[in-house]
Amino acid sequence: MAFSGAGLSHLVVDARPFPFSFPSRHTALLVIGMQRDFLACVRPVMRLLDACREARLPVFHTRVGFKPDLSDCPSITLARQAPAHGNAGITVGDKGSMGRYLVRGEYGHDIIDELRPLAGEVVIDKSGKGAFWNTELLHKLKARAITHVLVAGVSTECCLSSTVREASDRGLECCLEEFEKQRPEVFFIRKCFVDRVVVVGASVSAADIAVDLIGVAKSPVTYSAPTIRFSASSNIAMAALDAENAHPDDVAIIGLAFRGPGDASSPGRLWDMLVEGRSAFSSVPQNKWSHQGHYHPSAARGGGYSSNGGYSSTLRKMV
């Protein structure tokens, strides 16, 4: 493990085929398919997830599942699972002990309790093998400025390998987490697929990286997160921020004194909308305030105003 730059700018771990370096502020953990329909608790993933949370890495979870009518289930998936083709297990849509197998909304479709997503963690529902096809995963990663992903979960030979290849095609740098203490036959099969995955990414022991991340979590972290500042320092709508407030990451909102565009009720909510990539700007309806005839700040009053309503009739004329 190594750090470079100021504090926690980068973490370097021993990986295959070469050391994997990732910036802590632009890296996320992607947990694939840890659903009740697939498995019970997997403690190595628990330790890795806990370490990433302590290190304040964004966490994304994926669930594979289909609509109740199976209209979004690929025909090849149903065909491969048909009993006529040698499948002795349960088929997608069949009734099982936890509801219909891999059907969205059923008990078995959800993530196991031990790895339950926390508030603020993203859950992506998918119907394909990879986590990027026909989902909003890439959009949500970009909204958080993620450039590197740590990938862990089940089905190395299927969902994990597909996801790593999809991520690589989209310009993300990936590191697949390997878990030890597997049955020999399972280890051999997964090792074959991991060996192929390192062609487009890297792989590392989940236990080792968890230890490294816990070290990160115990180190002091200073975030230069963008802040929202409200200002009405001038009667010119696009007035520059005061020098003391100027910062390249700031979002300046001039003269906002009511529920904001996009239904943003607070500075924090507005920033969340911007991070999510949602539009926070809209035209002002005719019955809303405008600066014409209403916004005439005087130097004596400091150029500010206040209003609880936001409609023209509720604004005080500033003279």
Domain finish residue from 197, 217, 237: 217
DSSP state of 250: -
Distance of CA 309 to the CA centre of its chain: 35
Only one residue has tokens 């030979």, namely: 157
Q: In the prediction, which pLDDT does 89 show?
A: 74
Q: In the prediction, which pLDDT does 69 show?
A: 96
Are 229 and 125 within one domain? no
Q: In the prediction, which pLDDT does 62 show?
A: 96
> 12-27 burial string, b = 16+ CB within 10 Å, else e?
ebebbeeebbbbbbbb
CATH of the domain at 203: 3.40.50.850
Q: What is the 3 state secondary structure string of 83-135? A: HHHCCCCCCCCCEEECEECCECCCHHHCECHHHCCCCCCEEEEECCCCCCCCC
> Positive or negative CA dihedral for 197, 144, 218, 49?
negative
Domain that holds residue 296: 225-319
Are 162 and 231 within one domain? no
Are 213 and 229 within one domain? no
Do the Cβ atoms of 207 and 47 come closer than 8 Å?
yes
Q: In the prediction, which pLDDT does 261 show?
A: 53
pLDDT tens digits for range 231-256: 233 333 333 333 333 434 334 334 44
Are 16 and 135 within one domain? yes
Do the Cβ atoms of 151 and 49 come closer than 8 Å?
no
Q: Retrieve residue 156's tokens.
A: 């190395």
Domain finish residue from 171, 194, 217: 217
In a domain, 287, yes or no: yes
Q: In the prediction, which pLDDT does 280 show?
A: 55
Are 139 and 281 within one domain? no
Please report which helix (H) or strand (E) contains residue 315, including its range: none
Q: In the prediction, which pLDDT does 130 show?
A: 94
Are 16 and 145 within one domain? yes
> 281-291 burial string, b = 16+ CB within 10 Å, else e?
eeeeeeeebee
Are 181 and 241 within one domain? no
Say what angle helices 161-169 and 184-197 make with each other, to 10 degrees: 10
pLDDT in tens, the chain (319 residues): 443 333 456 788 888 777 888 888 899 999 999 999 888 667 888 888 998 998 889 999 999 999 999 999 988 888 887 777 666 578 899 999 999 999 999 999 999 999 999 999 999 999 999 999 999 999 999 999 999 999 988 876 688 888 988 999 999 998 887 755 444 444 444 555 455 555 556 666 665 666 566 555 554 433 333 333 332 333 333 333 333 334 343 343 344 444 455 556 565 666 666 667 666 555 444 444 444 444 444 445 444 444 434 444 444 443 3
* pTM: predicted TM-score of the whole model, two decimal places: 0.61
Only one residue has tokens 């192929």, namely: 196
DSSP state of 242: P
The domain total for the chain is: 2
In a domain, 193, yes or no: yes
Helices (H), 115-234: 137-143, 161-169, 184-197, 206-217
Q: In the prediction, which pLDDT does 73 show?
A: 92
How many residues appear in the chain? 319
In a domain, 76, yes or no: no
What is the maximum span of the chain, computed from C-alpha positions, in angstroms? 85
What is the Cα–Cα distance from 57 to 46, expressed in whole angstroms? 15
